């Protein structure tokens, strides 16, 4: 799969997109688009990849993603049914001057914040959920009003975490293909040891050049990136299976239980056992 620039078709009577995507239409590769994206997951779960961040998603999770922020959501197992209500809109769909109105100051700030990706938390998830679901069936001016209600809730809340620390840059097809190849190989092979010489060769670089390039491009080391994918996968196994923690350690690509526990604690602030018990 190659990263692609997604072009989103509009209906004749619509200025923005609001529809449910369900397996197999839910499955899309690493991609980006100029539209802002508000997404509510209604079935399934798996790993989220937004900018340079790896996390998990599950039913009722809500993300708000900025323009051209690369992302994909990969379901945890191949046969899992996954669906989401997805809203795509451009920042000028309501006209060129709307965001320059003094009343739109908070929304303009919200759109700037979304460049890092926002994962909505707390009570705001419950408030937003019916608004987002209603958007798909709304029509006419009510549809715009409903979207504005969503944006107002997002603009006023502090119930969110910023997802990515990656700076969005102008598209460079050559660099994008290189990152795509690194990403896709890692996703396909994270359960096994990944040699730096192999991944550097995929990027057509020497090992030192690759390590420097990846750190500059994502603000993290390649090993940290791999660990994030493995921990995210381990979290899903902890919550959805009865596998032992030792088996999950090896199934997620870790070679020792000590390193698994250390990396899990570093990223989740608790041990795998406590994570399973709490969630």
pLDDT value, residue 76: 77
Round to whole Å and give the CA distance between 81 and 75. Answer: 8
Which pair of structure tokens corresponds to residue 75? 């379901």
Q: Residue 11: what pLDDT?
A: 53
Q: Which domains does the chain have, with CATH numbers?
A: 4-162 (2.60.120.280), 173-278 (1.10.10.60)
136, 47 Cβ separation under 8 angstroms: no
Token pair belonging to 278: 């709490």
pLDDT per residue rounded down to tens, the chain (279 residues): 344 445 555 554 578 989 999 998 888 877 888 899 999 999 998 889 888 788 889 999 999 999 989 888 988 778 889 999 999 999 998 988 999 999 999 999 999 999 999 999 999 999 999 999 999 888 889 999 999 999 999 999 999 999 987 766 655 677 777 877 888 788 889 999 999 999 999 999 999 999 999 988 888 899 999 998 899 889 888 988 899 999 999 999 999 999 999 999 999 999 999 999 987
Task: List strands edge to edge, sheet with 17-22.
Answer: 17-22, 83-89, 36-43, 62-65, 118-120, 160-162
Indicate yes or no: pTM above 0.85: no
Stated as kind and residue range, the H or E segment containing 89 is strand 83-89
How many DSSP H helices and E strands does the chain contain?
10, 11
Buried b (16+ CB within 10 A) or exposed e, 117-126: bbbbeeebbe
């Amino acid at each position: 799969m190659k990263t692609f620039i997604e072009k989103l078709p509009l209906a004749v009577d619509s200025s923005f997109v609001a529809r449910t995507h369900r397996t197999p239409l839910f499955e899309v590769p690493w991609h980006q688009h100029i539209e802002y994206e508000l997404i509510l997951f209604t079935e399934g779960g798996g790993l989220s990849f937004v900018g340079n961040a790896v996390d998990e998603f599950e039913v009722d999770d809500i993300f708000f993603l900025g323009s051209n922020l690369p992302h994909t959501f990969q379901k945890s197992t191949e046969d899992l049914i996954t669906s989401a209500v997805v809203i795509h809109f451009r920042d000028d769909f309501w006209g060129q001057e709307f965001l320059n109105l003094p009343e739109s100051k908070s929304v303009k700030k919200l759109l700037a914040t979304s460049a890092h990706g926002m994962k909505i938390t707390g009570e705001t998830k419950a408030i937003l959920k019916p608004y987002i679901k209603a958007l798909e069936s709304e029509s006419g001016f009510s549809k715009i009003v409903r979207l504005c209600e969503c944006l107002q809730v997002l603009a006023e809340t502090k119930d969110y975490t910023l997802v990515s620390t990656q700076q969005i840059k102008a598209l460079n097809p050559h660099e994008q293909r290189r990152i795509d190849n690194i990403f896709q190989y890692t996703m396909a092979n994270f359960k096994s040891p990944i040699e730096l010489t192999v991944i550097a060769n995929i990027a057509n670089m020497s090992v030192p050049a690759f390590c420097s390039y990846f750190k500059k491009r994502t603000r993290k080391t390649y090993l940290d990136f791999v660990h994030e994918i493995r921990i995210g996968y381990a979290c899903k196994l902890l919550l959805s299976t009865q596998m032992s923690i030792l088996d999950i350690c090896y199934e997620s690509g870790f070679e020792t239980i000590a390193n698994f526990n250390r990396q899990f604690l570093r990223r989740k602030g608790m041990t795998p056992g406590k994570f399973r018990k709490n969630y």
